[in-house]
Structure 1
């Protein structure tokens, strides 16, 4: 079973520098969900201090990968086969928190969903769903 510190180390060892540039912090991981947070910084914001959609989609995808790892009980490389992100409200504030969970896991395919909220007011800013391929 993974803990947040181990998962954070795996993120640093296995994810691209541009994902790490978001400064994601894994605050929770387990068989039911993974929770990641990123700080809102000028480098990922556009006019008005709103976090860009690319950063939100990356956060959602990364969180869902760790939700897969939590469900599996270990980190396994998975390939995103599709990702749908729905932007619902402006992501501004101090941070964005993404809670991801696996909704179905098969032998080769894992289906997941994520909800992103802004902090400190906890307003929903985006929702995402994805399918991941688990190579044998």
Structure 2
């Protein structure tokens, strides 16, 4: 799915708000069950406590899930987030974050995803998210 990575870049630039694009989220690979992403180090995502803010990781989880659905669907389908539940297990210090999205179900009208985030080069999960999406088109 190498061209899916390039299409993901185009989708990120085309369909998402400018502040989401400014986070710099990068698709790195897709397979039949999901996708891998990198959220590069970005000092603008660090809050006063010196760690990456939860709003940034929740937004990255939501965005990476939608981009993964597009890759698995072979096209971008407009959808709306119905539910996003995020668990912050440990703080993420400033630096790059590795993200894995697993698509749990991808139906005609709804899709469900699970996301895990880790600091780059750290095997420990720092953030998890589960989400539900309603497709707004067929």
What is the TM-score normalised by the length of structure 2? 0.90
**TM-aligned CA deviation for residue 48 of structure 1:** 4.7
Aligned equivalent of 1:124: 125
**TM-aligned CA deviation for residue 67 of structure 1:** 2.0
Structure richer in strand, relative to its length: 1
Deviates more, 1:71-80 or 1:13-22: 71-80
Aligned-partner SS, 2:70: helix
Preserved CA contact (<8 Å) 2:96 2:119: yes
1:2-13 aligned at under 5 Å gives the runs 3-13=4-14
Aligned equivalent of 1:15: 16
2:112 & 2:68 partners in 1: Cα distance?
10
What is the TM-score normalised by the length of structure 1? 0.91
Where structure 1 has 5 or more consecutive residues not aligned to the other structure, the ranges are: none
**TM-aligned CA deviation for residue 13 of structure 1:** 1.1
Moved over 4 A (4+): none
Preserved CA contact (<8 Å) 1:30 1:67: no
Preserved CA contact (<8 Å) 2:99 2:117: yes
What per-residue deviation string (whole Å, max 9, x for no partner) do you get for residues 93-134 of structure 1? 420111112101221010111001111223211000000011
**TM-aligned CA deviation for residue 49 of structure 1:** 2.9
Compute the RMSD of aligned alpha carbons.
Answer: 1.5
**TM-aligned CA deviation for residue 44 of structure 1:** 0.6
